[in-house]
């Protein structure tokens, strides 16, 4: 990983972190932008870009997060950036996208608030939509029993996705109704799914929620829930790429490989 820091036009601060993968997968990097004097406070945007090998003839994958903005606002910023990217197809565009978000973030947030107010009249079912959950498990002592339990919960809650093993890394990727996702999380946290070092049944205490978000249009829906094992990081990355989740992999998985 390579990190770069510089002051940009005295109004934003940019931190760039590069994650390098094999040439066939392109390059991913994170840019943190602190927009000064924008909404009477500093807004720190974390932008994750994945440039495929065919870039700039192909649009980059972009992920937007911020502690100062809601998930919906981050999604709106991302959509606007992708719209701008289409205008720069076949030419380098990251610098232009950074300039654009610096100049228009305030307008995007205002528009997002207006749309959010309009959506308050929608039904709960419409608001919920299809959600996605990515979990990291530290270990499984009673692996066979643990796997069987996860499969049973996924089937009962009509969730699809993958239970993925790659070396010591254990990930659970689920898709389904938001209510079912939340119910799964409750089961995972409160049920005795494993055993401790003495062989006594115990609850999962070392699970981490890496991501919980609504499934987007570019994400492919898993049709079934499967348990899969991978012999190399490239195989695991390919699973994410096939599901349209390249940005998700780039943001959350590389730190686990260290």
Contact 35, 11 (CB under 8 A): yes
Both tokens assigned to 146 = 């643990």
Same domain, 188 and 225: yes
Same domain, 169 and 246: yes
Which of residues 103, 119, 135 is at a domain's end?
Answer: 119
Q: Where are the beta strands (DSSP E) in the chain?
A: 2-8, 12-20, 27-35, 43-51, 61-65, 130-137, 160-166, 169-177, 192-195, 201-203, 208-214, 225-230
Read off the pLDDT band of 225 (50, 70, 90).
very high
Provide mean pLDDT across the span 94-118.
75
Same domain, 138 and 240: yes
> Domain containing 78 — which CATH number?
3.10.110.10
Average pLDDT, the chain: 81
Same domain, 153 and 235: yes
Provide mean pLDDT across the span 59-69.
86
Helix 143-156 × helix 178-190 angle, to 10°: 150
Same domain, 115 and 129: no
Contact 174, 188 (CB under 8 A): no
Contact 239, 228 (CB under 8 A): yes
Which of residues 91, 119, 147 is at a domain's end?
Answer: 119
Same domain, 111 and 147: no
71 is in which domain, residue-wise? 2-119
Q: Has residue 127 got a pLDDT over 80?
A: no
Provide mean pLDDT across the span 11-22.
49
Stated pTM of the model: 0.55
Read off the pLDDT band of 120 (50, 70, 90).
very low
Same domain, 173 and 102: no
> Domain containing 155 — which CATH number?
3.30.70.100
Please give the tally of structural domains in the chain: 2
pLDDT at residue number 30 = 86
pLDDT at residue number 113 = 56
Same domain, 158 and 91: no
CA of residue 196 relative to chain centroid, distance: 31
CA of residue 168 relative to chain centroid, distance: 21
**What number of other Cβ atoms are within 10 A of residue 49's Cβ?**
24
Read off the pLDDT band of 199 (50, 70, 90).
confident
Same domain, 149 and 222: yes
Q: How many helices (H) and strands (E) does the chain have?
A: 8, 12
Query: Tokens 């919980």 correspond to what residue?
Result: 212
104 or 9: whose pLDDT is higher? 104
- Beta-bridge partners for 19: 28
Q: Has residue 20 got a pLDDT over 80?
A: no
152-177 per-position pLDDT tens digit: 999 999 999 999 999 999 999 999 99
Which of residues 119, 136, 167 is at a domain's end?
Answer: 119
Q: Has residue 3 got a pLDDT over 90?
A: no
Nearest to 132 by CA among 254, 256, 255, 243: 243
């Amino acid at each position: 990983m390579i990190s770069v820091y510089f002051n940009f036009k005295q109004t934003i601060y940019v931190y760039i972190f590069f994650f390098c993968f094999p040439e066939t997968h392109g390059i991913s990097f994170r840019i943190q932008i602190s927009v000064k004097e924008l909404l009477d406070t500093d807004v720190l945007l974390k932008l994750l870009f994945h440039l495929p090998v065919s870039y700039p003839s192909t649009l980059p994958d972009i992920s937007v997060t911020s502690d100062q903005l809601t998930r919906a606002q981050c999604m709106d910023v991302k959509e606007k950036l992708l719209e701008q990217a289409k205008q720069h197809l076949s030419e380098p565009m990251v610098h232009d996208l950074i300039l654009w978000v610096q100049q228009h973030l305030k307008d995007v947030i205002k528009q997002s608030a207006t749309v959010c107010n309009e959506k308050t009249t929608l039904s709960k079912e419409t608001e919920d939509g299809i959600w996605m959950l990515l979990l990291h498990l530290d270990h499984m002592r009673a692996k066979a029993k643990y796997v069987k339990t996860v499969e049973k919960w996924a089937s009962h809650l009509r969730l699809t996705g993958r239970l993925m093993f790659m070396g010591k890394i254990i990930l659970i990727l689920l898709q389904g109704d938001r209510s079912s996702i939340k119910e799964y999380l409750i089961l995972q946290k409160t049920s005795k799914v494993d055993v401790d070092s003495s062989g006594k049944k115990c609850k999962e205490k070392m699970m981490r929620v890496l991501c919980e978000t609504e499934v987007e249009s570019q994400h492919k829906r898993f049709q079934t829930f499967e348990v899969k094992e991978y012999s190399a990081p490239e195989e695991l990355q390919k699973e994410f790429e096939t599901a349209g989740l390249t940005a998700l992999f780039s943001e959350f998985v590389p730190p686990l490989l260290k």
